[in-house]
Amino acid sequence: MSEQMRERTPAEIEQGIYDSWSPFWHFYAKHMPLAWWSREEDALFCSYAIPHPLFNQVADVTPNLSRERVAQVCAKMEERGLPWLWLANPAHWNDTTPQWLPEYGLIEAGLVKGMAFDIVKTEISRGNPAGLEIREVQCMEDTRAFWAGILPAYEMPLEFAVPSQEVHQAHGFYPNIPIRVYYGVWQGQPVAGSMVYFDKEFAVIQCVGTTPEARGRGFAPAVVSACIQAAKEEGYRYVVLQASDMGYPIYLKMGFTEYFDQTFYVKMPP
């Protein structure tokens, strides 16, 4: 049996979800000319040179935070002059997150939930909502359509897609890169999208979104199901993701299991 298909303990799945953040973001960062990536003993840093906290992140910082370490991390990120976020350890790994983080301008901004889908034990949703066509990104025109469906979901301008498009322009598409990307077209317009990254042991879903005017029609589950099916075709057992408050009930209904909460903090530049 391959390592990708081996049944995991809950603890192994939890660790796999937690570790899944790094390889996906690193893949894009190392291929973007203006991006920056750094690994330290207790932290991972990445910045895509895009002025939004989602694209400038810190993770894996030790749970035993000191004021000195927080100051060091803040100084390192603030050299970029961009808004950034700090993804804390899962809540039950560290029940003593310092209450003084706001003194450094780090404001608690929300929670994400670590979740996993067991392809062997859970049925993949079949069929698309009426009028929705699922397409796989295989050319530059597709990348533009994908981001046109995704970025409005996050209230981001279309210019934010440029660095990612440069990566595909230079390195191509699946199977040349370990990512498959899907988007949904409804009434002639791209309205939803998702991508799946193939890591060594887990398939990692990222960038799920639906344009505001198209929500509530089952489009997000359809593109996520396309990613799960792709992972199955690649020989994976587990698909993992980190769910927002909006996405959590959708994934739960699809058959994903929750494993932990993570708090994230946002720091805006002066």
**What's the order of all strands across the beta sheet hosting 84-90?**
36-39, 44-47, 56-59, 84-90, 257-267, 107-118, 238-243, 203-210, 189-198, 179-186, 132-136
**pTM for this prediction:** 0.94
Q: Residue type for 104, please?
A: Y
6-19: average pLDDT: 95
Give bridge partners of residue 144 from the DSSP assignment: none
Q: How many residues does the chain have?
A: 270
Confidence of residue 63 (pLDDT cuts 50, 70, 90): confident
pLDDT of the residue at 95: 63
- Please state, in angstroms and as integers, the Cα–Cα distance from residue 129 to each residue in 39, 64, 138, 188, 221, following that order: 42, 47, 23, 15, 9
Closest among 206, 241, 20 to 117, alpha carbons compared: 241
Taking 90 as the threshold, does the pLDDT of residue 88 lie above it?
no
How far from each other are the two terminal CA atoms of the chain, in whole angstroms? 53
Closest among 269, 247, 270 to 258, alpha carbons compared: 247
- Residue 210 in 3-state DSSP? strand
pLDDT of the residue at 197: 97
pLDDT digits (tens, 9 = 90+) for 197-225: 999 999 999 999 999 999 999 999 999 99
Decide: 153 and 209 in contact? Cβ < 8 Å. yes
DSSP 265: E
- Residue 123 in 3-state DSSP? coil
Q: Where are the beta strands (DSSP E) in the chain?
A: 36-39, 44-47, 56-59, 84-90, 107-118, 132-136, 179-186, 189-198, 203-210, 238-243, 257-267
Closest among 171, 183, 258 to 224, alpha carbons compared: 183
CA 195 – CA 191 distance, rounded (Å): 14
Instruction: Categorise residue 105: left if φ over 0, alpha if ψ from -120 to 50, beta otherwise.
Output: left
- Residue 195 in 3-state DSSP? strand
Domains of the chain as residue ranges with CATH: 20-112+262-267 (no CATH), 132-261 (3.40.630.30)
Distance of CA 193 to the CA centre of its chain: 12
Give bridge partners of residue 205 from the DSSP assignment: 196
- Residue 230 tokens read as 């792709």
pLDDT of the residue at 210: 96
- Please state, in angstroms and as integers, the Cα–Cα distance from residue 144 to each residue in 68, 169, 171, 175, 192, following that order: 43, 12, 16, 19, 12
HSE-up of 119 (CA within 13 Å, CB side)? 22
Q: Residue type for 57, please?
A: Q
Decide: 24 and 204 in contact? Cβ < 8 Å. yes
pLDDT digits (tens, 9 = 90+) for 90-140: 877 766 677 888 999 999 999 999 999 999 999 998 788 999 999 999 999
